Each structure stands twice: as C-alpha cells, then as structure tokens.
C-alpha cells in the first residue's frame, strides 16, 4: 500500500476515535440536561415541537407515517438483511457484514440500555401516533443513523467518482434526518430525544468504524488481505 494511503488511513481512524470521544462527552452533557429537566431543554423541545407540528397537513402526516414506518424496527431489519446479502455476494467485502451487524445491533442494544436508564416519558401534547416504550433517546433516530451511517461509510469506500460519493452521502443524511423529524411531527418524541439518538448512535458508529479500520489495516499488513477499490 502506498505510504500516503497508509497515512491517510491512520488519520481517518484517528478521526473516528476522536469523534467517538467528542460525541460521547456531548451525549453525557445532553443526557444530564434532559434528566435534570433543564429549562433550556424544555424550552427547546416545546419551541421545535410547536414549529414542526404547526406545519401539520394531511399529506404531511402521510409522509411522516411512511418515514416512521421506514425507520421502524421491522423495516430496519429488512433493509439490513438486504444489505448483508449484497455484501456477502462481493468477495472483497467478506468482513463488512460483521461491521454492519456490529454497528446496527450495537446501536439497538445501546438504545435499549439508555431508554431503561433514563426512563423518560413520551410527550403528551399532540399525538398523531402511539408508542409505549420510553422516549429518550429516540430508537428510530438511533436505528436510522446506524443503518444509513454505515451504508454511507461503505458507499463512500466503494464509489470512485467524488460526485457519486457526495450524492450517496447526501441521500443517507437526508433519509436519517427525515425519519427523526417524522417522530417529532407525529408527537411521539421530543426534539431532544431525536438529537440525543443521533449523538449516541454517531458515537457508537464512530467507535465501531474506528475499531474495524484498525483491525482491517492490521490484517492487510499481516496477511495480505482484501483491499477495496
């Protein structure tokens, strides 16, 4: 492997671990503010709930319900299985399925743990849907961030032309953001739930990718393993 690629890979890996540390600290701060009922968080939540739900229209409700369905556990698992099948069929990507499982499965476990730790009740302002689990952090937001975040990472590595990479990244970001927004619109999550979900899942994703990159490069050096285009 050319020296510049090795140095670039080391920088990217270091950025992953730095991102994990930064996002973990930010999540701790946000979660402490949420748990303490900080007035700034309360004002933030009510301000954005009012703005998002103030745009309520029948067609927007249908869009929000569709996006929420796309972000549901069943759909995330289905999309994940299709992604795993695609990766298994590519010989050069023999270990990437494990990365996908670690990113998405780990995010789900982190979400379940955090929900039961904070036990925050869902908003009771204007419900357009019903949910019965705890509210913080948003499971839909964490699931979407983990799934489409790892998909964006894989596509960025597999797609050569920069415009194609940017389009793939933008689509993954747009879908993740839209799913989180749909949960606020439907009245089943506070904005801070969605924000907390993004931060927590982002931290987990950064850690998972960082560990995978370290393992991948060590394996290439020691065993002459696969190399993506």
Q: Which of 12, 46, 126, 140 is catalytic?
A: 140
Element spanning 39, H or E: helix 39-53
DSSP 8-state secondary structure symbol assigned to residue 92? G
Which phi and psi angles does 43 have, rounded to 5°?
A: -65, -40
Token pair for residue 37?
Answer: 């009922």
Q: Nearest-CA neighbor of 194 among 139, 147, 151?
A: 139
Say whether 140 is catalytic.
yes
Q: Which of 12, 46, 189, 217 is catalytic?
A: 189
Which phi and psi angles does 144 have, rounded to 5°?
A: -65, -45
Spatial separation of the C-alpha atoms in residues 215 and 152, rounded to whole Å = 20
189: which residues sit within 8 A by CB, 6+ positions away? 122, 123, 135, 138, 140, 141, 180, 183
Say whether 189 is catalytic.
yes
Spatial separation of the C-alpha atoms in residues 225 and 93, rounded to whole Å = 11
Under 8 Å between Cβ of 106 and 204: yes
Catalytic residues: 140, 189
């Amino acid at each position: 492997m050319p020296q510049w690629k090795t140095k670039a890979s080391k920088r990217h890996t270091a950025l992953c671990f730095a991102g994990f540390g930064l996002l973990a600290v930010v999540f701790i701060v946000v979660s402490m503010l949420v748990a303490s009922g900080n007035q700034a968080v309360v004002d933030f939540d009510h301000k954005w709930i009012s703005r998002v739900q103030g745009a309520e229209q029948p067609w927007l409700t249908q869009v929000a319900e569709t996006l929420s369905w796309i972000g549901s556990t069943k759909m995330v698992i289905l999309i994940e299985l299709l992604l795993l099948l695609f990766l298994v069929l590519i010989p050069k990507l023999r270990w990437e399925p494990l990365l996908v499982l670690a990113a998405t499965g780990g995010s789900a476990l982190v979400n379940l743990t955090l929900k039961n730790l904070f036990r925050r009740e869902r908003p009771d302002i204007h419900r357009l849907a019903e949910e019965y689990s705890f509210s913080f952090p948003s499971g839909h937001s964490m699931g979407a961030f983990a799934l489409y975040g790892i998909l964006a990472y894989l596509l960025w590595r597999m797609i050569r032309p920069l415009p194609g990479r940017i389009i793939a990244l933008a689509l993954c970001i747009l879908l993740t953001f839209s799913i989180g927004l749909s949960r606020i619109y439907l009245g089943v999550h506070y904005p801070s739930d969605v924000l907390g979900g993004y931060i927590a899942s982002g931290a987990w994703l950064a850690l998972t990718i960082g560990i995978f990159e370290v393992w991948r490069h060590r394996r290439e050096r020691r065993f002459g393993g696969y190399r993506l285009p």
